[in-house]
Structure 1
């Protein structure tokens, strides 16, 4: 296929800035890092509101009389609507900017999260999870866009890693507290507390967050530093018109196909941890809720370390003159390959060894999550949010498939053993996509307008 060849179109070449192209002098402001801290908190809330159902699940299933097939469907319902809302959500992020898009999204999904605490059975829970999927869809396209406009290329890997680690930090920090709520009061309080927290932060986001050219507290020197380093400062005020041909043209590039496949593989592992993981520890490993609160945190800490390490190493390689393609691809290949280690859990009866293996596997998934930096590098500058939405769509098909497949496997076999073989096999596919298909990274320039 000539359309996905390795040859870089001359018009599409965007080389990484030379090592000394951007002044390293101290800047009067560092407002970009403050904005990144807002992205981190928003992402923590985003993922706590995804994972809270897995924490409530053992109590909820018993209270409402839900079987494994029904729980698998409820776990996957979020991803059904989330995945297919991502493309329009990406366009919305490009059209209206990160501030408005993320703020409305936060307030909406948090309100629906509160409503989950009022659910009375399978139908209402399933419907509410479908609704949350739609409401959360704009979050990561808005994240990608915010990093691309606020950060130069040499800092983009670390910036992406910092906000992505929010998807692990929330669980690591709050699993114990949410389990305490579920056991001390009931599972409904898990949803009440997390939903109210999101509503409060949504108002704070709308009040504080601004794109670079709309921010009164960023200095001219910092704006120049960002723009000279490849940050898309001026694109933050551009409003893009949507054209369906733009999506078709995106898929002419092998980079998009490879990232989509790799993200699908990585997300499959992620959704095991976001959905079935506590149930696995309680029902197959027979751990008490106290031990689950302790042990369940370890893999999420591992994943947090993984994504931060990937960002640090990737940006360091770029600063030392290594090609952008190699620096961004290295963590993707290494993380996907190491993710296959999850199958080793089938060969141990020790709970300690089990948690160690899962921690390594989720550490690997964290490394592979550095794919968001790759998306920020290849996305057409006028369609950063849309490209993030397209690649997230592919990723979250894994969120649809994985919970259902695992639920069916456990229902039929009474064991999670084949589920781990499934996740390991998908990780192998991701490794092949990143190592053989991805090719060189460069910013795509679309012809369709």
Structure 2
């Protein structure tokens, strides 16, 4: 794996603070674009997590055991993970507008169909389809932030859209539980799917890349580009070459981010899948209390990811190196994530929720790895690099639900599941602290 120190000198904008922002820009279109990314990501994750809210009702109605539910929880990540590399190429080739819009409408239509499922096989197949359709979302997110934002704002911008993965659950878990209680679990999928289809149409109408956006001023474009935003790359259309993927893995930064993302995503998928079941079946909470308590860790994670972005960008503005500013949240978040094992040592539900909130707060901090991806990705392969690192991350989404389901089925308890997640968090800590090294924009030799 190459560290290629000669490249460092070529990446001036990545190793020093960007030029100071003008006191006032004639347009601030990039922040409107970020609001679209946030809403799209909220919908994206609501359509992932809705099955965990429906799970206790659905399992009882359809007669599904823990192993079957583990497979259904995991199915999304099977296709999602392995579609990420081609999805990243599609984002680079066709741009964020088309890629995200088609993806959003497609996965939302399949979400509606989940409400019609009649058993294990149909649910498994539909979750596989949702995974494949959602794959372009985060590579398109990463690409949009890299072309719309200068380096000094990129940490916060990445954190804002990533926090959508927590906000959706925090804001809508109660409403979705109410739907399931008042009507049935199928209405969860009907409602979330329809909302996604409608917003997909809005996205196609409103989103544009910088060079094709009529509402962004020349001054704002110059500010973005002078600060390291890859404005002109938004018009480039990359031709795919398999050797480009092999070239990416010559760099330790790519390996380290892949391993770290795998670790943090393993914790994320516990909360996205088994968490409500854990509260109801092992902690014996009522549906109402489970709905309230389930929100708190997601609030903690939202605070964590936003704090990571603010601190990281603040360190850059104060003259710290980009590497230190981007790596600090990753190391601290991964290390603090090991606290999840402490849940095994308390009988108090209140203490349990406090510990899980702390652990998910840490996972939110570690999720700022998307900012690191934006800094190291070759300018012609922003989406593909996001796809490759996200593939590694979502192998955790495949493994974790199945492992936890098997553990609970075999032991009748979640105790060893928390030891598993804590061990993976240790792996992430070591990867970010020892392997990641200096961050700089990779320049590929293969074209």
Structure 1 equivalent of residue 112 of structure 2: 114
- Contact 1:69–1:404 (8 Å) recurs in 2: yes
- Contact 2:18–2:227 (8 Å) recurs in 1: no
The match for 1:296 among 294, 297, 315 is: 294
* TM-score (normalised: structure 2): 0.99
Separation (CA, whole Å) in 2 of partners of 1:23 and 1:278: 45
Structure 2 equivalent of residue 194 of structure 1: 192
Q: CA deviation at 1:332?
A: 0.1
The match for 1:21 among 19, 22, 25 is: 19
1:429 partnered with 2:427? yes
Q: CA deviation at 1:8?
A: 4.8
The match for 2:213 among 188, 212, 215 is: 215
1:152 partnered with 2:163? no
1:356 partnered with 2:376? no
Structure 2 equivalent of residue 314 of structure 1: 312
- Contact 2:15–2:321 (8 Å) recurs in 1: no
Separation (CA, whole Å) in 2 of partners of 1:32 and 1:319: 19
- Contact 2:18–2:151 (8 Å) recurs in 1: no
Separation (CA, whole Å) in 1 of partners of 2:423 and 2:188: 34
1:42 partnered with 2:40? yes
Structure 2 equivalent of residue 250 of structure 1: 248
- Contact 1:56–1:182 (8 Å) recurs in 2: yes
Structure 1 equivalent of residue 63 of structure 2: 65
The match for 2:50 among 31, 49, 52 is: 52
Structure 2 equivalent of residue 179 of structure 1: 177
CA 1:20 to 1:363, structure 2 compared with 1: closer, same or farther past 3 Å? closer
Q: CA deviation at 1:347?
A: 0.0
Q: CA deviation at 1:146?
A: 0.1
The match for 1:405 among 392, 403, 406 is: 403
1:16 match: secondary structure: helix
Q: CA deviation at 1:15?
A: 4.0
CA 1:205 to 1:425, structure 2 compared with 1: closer, same or farther past 3 Å? same
1:284 partnered with 2:282? yes
Separation (CA, whole Å) in 2 of partners of 1:294 and 1:370: 26
Separation (CA, whole Å) in 1 of partners of 2:66 and 2:264: 24
- Contact 1:22–1:228 (8 Å) recurs in 2: no
1:240 match: secondary structure: coil
Q: C-alpha deviations, 1:101-157, integer Å up to 9, x for none? A: 000000000000000000000000000000000000000000000000000000000
CA 1:368 to 1:10, structure 2 compared with 1: closer, same or farther past 3 Å? closer
Separation (CA, whole Å) in 2 of partners of 1:128 and 1:192: 14
Separation (CA, whole Å) in 2 of partners of 1:94 and 1:326: 28
Structure 2 runs not aligned, ≥5 long? none
Structure 2 equivalent of residue 230 of structure 1: 228
Q: CA deviation at 1:22?
A: 3.7
Structure 1 equivalent of residue 333 of structure 2: 335
- Contact 2:38–2:162 (8 Å) recurs in 1: yes
Separation (CA, whole Å) in 2 of partners of 1:88 and 1:12: 29
Separation (CA, whole Å) in 1 of partners of 2:299 and 2:154: 22
2:22 match: secondary structure: coil
Q: C-alpha deviations, 1:334-379, integer Å up to 9, x for none? A: 0000000000000000000000000000000000000000000000
- Contact 1:15–1:442 (8 Å) recurs in 2: no
Separation (CA, whole Å) in 2 of partners of 1:375 and 1:356: 31
Separation (CA, whole Å) in 2 of partners of 1:214 and 1:357: 47
- Contact 1:14–1:442 (8 Å) recurs in 2: no
1:205 partnered with 2:203? yes
Q: CA deviation at 1:6?
A: 7.2
Q: CA deviation at 1:20?
A: 6.4
Count of aligned positions? 447
Structure 1 equivalent of residue 343 of structure 2: 345
Separation (CA, whole Å) in 1 of partners of 2:351 and 2:80: 34
Over the residues paired in the alignment, what is the CA RMSD in angstroms? Answer: 1.0
Separation (CA, whole Å) in 2 of partners of 1:428 and 1:134: 30
- Contact 2:102–2:200 (8 Å) recurs in 1: yes
Q: C-alpha deviations, 1:302-346, integer Å up to 9, x for none? A: 000000000000000000100000000000000000000000000
CA 1:58 to 1:8, structure 2 compared with 1: closer, same or farther past 3 Å? farther
- Contact 1:12–1:445 (8 Å) recurs in 2: no
- Contact 2:13–2:151 (8 Å) recurs in 1: no
The match for 2:132 among 119, 131, 134 is: 134
| TM superposition outliers: structure 1 runs of 4+ over 3 Å | 4-15, 17-20
Separation (CA, whole Å) in 1 of partners of 2:7 and 2:25: 36
Q: C-alpha deviations, 1:362-406, integer Å up to 9, x for none? A: 000000000000000000000000000000000000000000000
Structure 1 equivalent of residue 257 of structure 2: 259
- Contact 2:18–2:226 (8 Å) recurs in 1: no
Separation (CA, whole Å) in 2 of partners of 1:99 and 1:127: 28
Separation (CA, whole Å) in 1 of partners of 2:15 and 2:76: 40
Q: CA deviation at 1:10?
A: 5.3
Structure 2 equivalent of residue 395 of structure 1: 393
* TM-score (normalised: structure 1): 0.98
